[in-house]
Amino acid sequence: MNETSPHAQISPTPRPDGEREKLLEIWATPKGWRLPTAVNNTVIGLLYLGAAFVFFVLAGILALVMRTQLAVPDNDLVSQDLYNQLFTVHGTTMMFLFAVPAVEALGVLLLPQMLAARDLPFPRLSAFAVWAYIVGGTVFFSTIFYDLAPRGGWFMYPPMTLTEYSPGDAADFWLLGIGFIEISAIAGAIEIIVGVLRTRPPGMSLDKLPIFGWAMLIFAGMIVVAFPAVILATMLLEIERAFGWPFFSPDGGGDPLLWQHLFWFFGHPEVYIIFLPAAGLVSMIVPTIARAPLVGHNLIVVALIATGFFSFGLWVHHMFTTGIPSLSLAFFSAASMAVAVPSGIQIFSWIATLASRTKKLRLTTPALFVLGMLFIFTLGGLTGVMVAMVPFNWQAHDTYFIVAHLHYVLIGGMVFPLFATFYYWAPMVSSRLLSDTLGKWTFWLMFIGLNVAFLPMHLAGLLGMPRRIWTYPDTLPWDGYNLVSTIGAYMIAAGVLVFIIDLIRNFRIGESSNPNPWDAGTLEFLPQDVYSTRSIPKVDSLYPLWDRPELAEEVEAGAHYLPDAPTGGRETIVTSPISATPQYVVQMPGPGWMHFFAAVFTAACFLLLTVKVVTPAIICGVLAVVCCLVWVWTIDKGPDAGPVEIGGGLRLPVYVTGPMAHGWWAMIVLMLVAGSLYLAYVFSYLYLWTSSPEGWELGAAMLPDAGSPMLSAGLFALAVALYVLARWALPEPGGNNLVTPALVILGACALTGGVVNEVWSHWQAGLRPTDSSYGAMVYMAGVLTAQLVAVIVIMSLFVCVRQMAGKIDQVRCAGLENTSLLVYYTFAQALVGLLIVHGIPHVAAS
């Protein structure tokens, strides 16, 4: 195209010769043995999604073994012990290794395309998360082959998972493996939050953000709040198993119900963490099916936000039978029913959109999966309202009714939208469409199979069949239902098999000759290449490809923003978080090995710790840190390449610091993660206090005198002051001095001193973490602050080295700024800790 409309002429066309070739060269994907160095979102997203799908298939095979075992009464196909491992690994794999990674993968794969960004802002972080997940997940899954898999079910309740009842390493594989994979999920969440808020195209203000962007933003926010609770829970249980700190053992004043609170504070939102992105996908597909804008777009956004929040008020509905007071149960019952309202808003909006169409509905494969999802998820939602009612819950708890309910919700709410996604978005990454005929076979086998498999489970459950039983006698009236369920399970498997055949036959990575076969209205259907879109469009509506049919041609001609690579490297535009006003051009890293090695060594460290091989684990941990430091050494490229012209007369800087910088935002999100973890600790502390107050009453007598916490608080405050001074003392660009490194080192020492003094004072007072839950919680406060201080020490040393290399000064100071942010947060957390640890026992004693 040689001419564009004046409205679109942001960059002059035709573009200079060689510009596209330069983009292709800069964004080229490494091939062959160098593939692990790749960081492009399409490569990483596909890798992520492929790995998640493999885990889905593997966990599905375990389900088939279980269904075969249960098909007839008194079956002995597998032993009881193996059956326990099967359901634990099946549930854990589906929830942790398939569902969350799959939706996170879709975020990495689809978001940059939907936002017409060249990539997400931290591509190596995504790559690190993927490789960590692949290595960690593979090792965890393989435990089933070596009789090393845990037996405690996917929620691993103590006391059954305490050392006394689960000796050996099996439970540790779950605790350390899953804890590690959650860290990978959090890394992905940080990437997604900053990506959605800061790398939207110019003009795409929040009211024009596609629903999937909203869903992923809320999904990631929920991960930030929910996952730290289970990370803390796994830390506490692992510490109790390894060192005997009694958090969950009633003998030492612990309480096994604390695990349930922490686990389900993560576990119930987890259902919505999985569902919301899938709902976002449906909200993107439905308008295309109906050829009409989504009815109630703003209400859907509200419904997503409300569901995200309400889902955190539901955790106790998994604990209705644990003896909690009736009034408290009523609070959770109310929230459990209230969450149905925003879910209903979404369902009715989709139905209204489909009803508003002016043409006949084309029942393509994506359309079938969306309609199937509406049916199945609604049924699961209805049984969800049933189990939200306390009296019914008491009857149905831990029966097959619950198994049926959760599979309707999860398969309807996540798996069907995922398959719709496979078929709908395949043209974005594949040169060929998947087969509509095979797709329909896949759909009908899965749809019928799901209902055949899980509908009878409601009845078996109501007839009293408990979950997780290995077999049952033929005197009980469950055999017919179980046989039918098993047949249904094989039908689902057949559907998945047909899909795999379709993939093998038709999925070919590459550019499609028709990037928009569905005539969709959103940006991911613009012509794409390794660099994403040729230029970054200015957006002024929710469905830009419908409202401006010429947009695809303009973008491909390079007529919009950033049609070239002005810094000579990988870059994209960073915009303001609400109105999407262009702010600066971020320079992004390209391929490299360090994120890959960091992931491998981190996984190795966790897994070696699991089998108690401590020294190699420490070596791997150190190597992982070294790899991370090498990786981040090249990220801060400084301001030298800018400012640059991006089109439309806009000249933007290529380096900013402070609240405008995307790195600053990532640090803030990381602090929110740390804050969530610490809040979960505060909850645990208060819970155990109310559960066994005698420990706290005795603890008041063992507290160090007031001078000790005052000294710690003083040292923490001194550290903050030193880091503030370090920022002021930075040299001018080109200069160098030793004042900043000295202040930073002194600050890190002050922080370390504060933690050591606090822990040492309790030790001197005679308190031991193994004595009681009180002692364990006191020392745990120290552990949580000490881990932050350890990170700060590493970051501070890094800052010192960078300054001595001339890479930090008054302008180029992101490294010091981010370290200081963490110092300020640590100061606040440590003060709260001191107040709680030294204050609550006095309250208890009085």
Partner 1 sequence: MSQSDANDRFVRRTAVSLAPILLWAAHFGLVYGGAHVACATADGAIGEPLADMAVWSVTGLVVLVLVGIGLRARSLLSAGASSGDTNSNDFLVHVVHALTLLSLLGVIWAGAAVNFMPTCATR
Stretch near partner 1 under the rule CB under 8 A, chosen from 163-171, 298-306, 743-751, 771-779:
298-306
Among 337, 630, 742, 801, binds partner 1 (CB under 8 A): 337
Q: Which residue's CB is nearer to partner 1, number 586 or number 722?
A: 586
Stretch that binds partner 1, among 28-36, 326-334, 507-515, 519-527 (CB under 8 A): 326-334
Nearest approach in angstroms of CB 320 to partner 1 is 11
Q: Is 202 helix (H, G, I), strand (E, B) or coil?
A: coil
* 206 versus 739: smaller Cβ distance to partner 1: 206
Min dist CB 835 to partner 1, Å, is 17
Map residues 255-294 to x or -, x wherever contact with partner 1 holds by CB under 8 A. Answer: ----------------------------------------
Q: Least distance to partner 1 from the beta carbon of 295, Å? A: 15
Listed in sequence order, the residues at least 6 apart from 213 whose beta carbon sits closer than 8 Å to its beta carbon are 111, 114, 115, 196, 200, 280
> Of 204 and 450, which has the nearer Cβ to partner 1?
204
Range in contact with partner 1 (rule: CB under 8 A) among 302-310, 437-445, 719-727, 742-750: 302-310
Smaller CB separation from partner 1, 9 or 576:
576
Q: Looking only at residues 566 through 585 of this chain, which bind partner 1 when binding is defined by CB under 8 A?
A: 576-579, 581, 583
Closer of 325 and 510 to partner 1 (Cβ): 325
Sign of the Cα torsion 450, 452, 457, 462 reads positive
x-or-dash string of contact with partner 1, 195-214, rule CB under 8 A: --x-------xxxx------
Tokens of 715: 């040292």
Q: Which is nearer to partner 1, 78 or 682 (CB)?
A: 682
Stretch that binds partner 1, among 35-43, 132-140, 327-335, 819-827 (CB under 8 A): 327-335
Binding string, 40-79, against partner 1, x = CB under 8 A? ----------------------------------------
- Contact set for partner 1, span 340-359 (CB under 8 A): 341-342
Instruction: Between 305 and 503, name the residue whose CB sits nearer to partner 1.
Output: 305
Task: Please choose, out of 36-44, 437-445, 688-696, 834-842, the segment that lies near partner 1 by the rule CB under 8 A.
Answer: 688-696
Distance CA 525, CA 116 (A): 10
Q: Which is nearer to partner 1, 308 or 815 (CB)?
A: 308
Provide the minimum distance between the beta carbon of 577 and partner 1 in the complex, in angstroms, as a whole number. 5
Span of 137-145, 165-173, 301-309, 565-573 interacting with partner 1 by CB under 8 A: 301-309
Pick one of 111, 181, 335, 446: the residue that binds partner 1 (CB under 8 A).
Answer: 335
Q: Which is nearer to partner 1, 333 or 610 (CB)?
A: 333
Spatial distance between the Cα atoms of 846 and 841, rounded to a whole number of angstroms: 9
CA distance 589 to 727: 26
Q: What is d(CA 273, CA 343) in angstroms, rounded to the nearest whole number?
A: 13
Nearer to partner 1 among residue 325 and residue 473 (C-beta): 325
Name, in order, each residue with C-beta under 8 angstroms of 325's C-beta and a sequence gap of 6 or more. Answer: none
Region of 766 please: left (phi>0), alpha (psi -120 to 50) or beta: left
Coil, strand, or helix at residue 654?
coil
CB of 728 to partner 1, least distance (A): 18
* Among positions 3, 24, 35, 331, the unique one binding partner 1 when judged by CB under 8 A: 331
Smallest separation (angstroms) from partner 1 to the CB of 580: 9
Distance CA 373, CA 423 (A): 14
* Identity of the residue, 242 or 334, whose beta carbon is nearer to partner 1 in the bound complex: 334
Q: Residue 659 Cβ, how far from partner 1 at the closest point, in Å?
A: 4
CB 453 within 8 A of CB 503: no
User: Is residue 560 classed as helix, strand or coil in its secondary structure?
Assistant: coil
Positions in 654-673 near partner 1 (CB under 8 A) = 658-660
Could you tell me the smallest distance in angstroms from the CB atom of residue 836 to partner 1? 15
Q: Is 338 in the site for partner 1 (CB under 8 A)?
A: yes
For residue 280, give the nearest of 367, 362, 219 by alpha carbon: 219
Q: How far apart are the first and last CA of the chain?
A: 81
Helix locations, 532-589, DSSP H? 544-547, 551-556
**Angle at alpha carbon of residue 557, lines to 556 and 560, rounded to 5°:** 85
Give me the amino acid identity at 608: L
Q: Kindly tell me which residue out of 17, 21, 145, 298 binds partner 1, with binding defined by CB under 8 A.
A: 298
Residue 251, class by beta-carbon neighbours within 10 Å (0-12 exposed, 13-18 middle, 19+ buried)?
Answer: exposed
Nearer of residues 583 and 610 to partner 1, judged by Cβ? 583
> Residue 167, Cα to own-chain centre: how many angstroms?
31
The footprint of partner 1 on residues 306-325 (CB under 8 A) is 306, 309-310, 312-313, 323-325
Among 327, 359, 513, 734, binds partner 1 (CB under 8 A): 327
For partner 1, the closer CB: 314 or 450: 314
Q: Smallest distance from the beta carbon of 329 to partner 1, in angstroms?
A: 8
Looking at the DSSP bridge assignments, the partners of residue 573 are 585
Residue 299 sits in the site that holds partner 1 (CB under 8 A): yes
Which of 9, 451, 691, 810 contacts partner 1 by CB under 8 A? 691
Closest by CA position to 173, among listed 145, 139, 146:
139
Residue 466, classed as helix, strand or coil, is strand
Residue 317: exposure state from Cβ atoms within 10 A (0-12, 13-18, ≥19): buried
Token duo for residue 299: 């209400």
Helix then strand then coil, in percent of the chain rounded to 5, is 70, 5, 30
Which residue, 328 or 437, has its beta carbon nearer to partner 1? Answer: 328
140-172 burial string, b = 16+ CB within 10 Å, else e? bbebbeeebbbbbbbbbbbbebbbeebeebbbb
Q: How far apart are CA 219 and CA 272, in angstroms?
A: 8
Supply φ then ψ for residue 274, to 5 degrees: -80, -40
Q: Which residue has the tokens 């109501």?
A: 462
User: Among 79, 80, 690, 770, which residue sits at the site for partner 1 (rule: CB under 8 A)?
Assistant: 690
What is the closest distance, in whole angstroms, from the C-beta atom of residue 717 to partner 1 in the complex? 25
Task: Mark 423-438 as b/e (b = at least 16 C-beta within 10 Å).
Answer: bbbbbbbbeebbbeeb
811 binds partner 1 (CB under 8 A): no
Shortest distance (Å) from residue 693 CB to partner 1: 7
Nearer to partner 1, 437 or 579 (CB): 579
Beta carbons of 603 and 136 less than 8 angstroms apart: yes
CB of 749 to partner 1, least distance (A): 31
Q: Name the token pair of 418.
A: 């995922």
Work out whether 328 is an interface residue with partner 1 (CB under 8 A).
yes
Q: How many residues bind partner 1 (CB under 8 A)?
A: 45
Q: How far is CA 476 from the centre of its chain?
A: 42
Q: How many whole angstroms separate alpha carbon 127 and alpha carbon 131?
A: 6
Structural tokens at position 751? 């922080």
Rounded-to-integer distance, Cα 11 and Cα 557, Å: 10
Binding site for partner 1 (CB under 8 A): 197, 205-208, 298-299, 301-302, 305-306, 309-310, 312-313, 323-335, 337-338, 341-342, 576-579, 581, 583, 658-660, 686, 690-691, 693
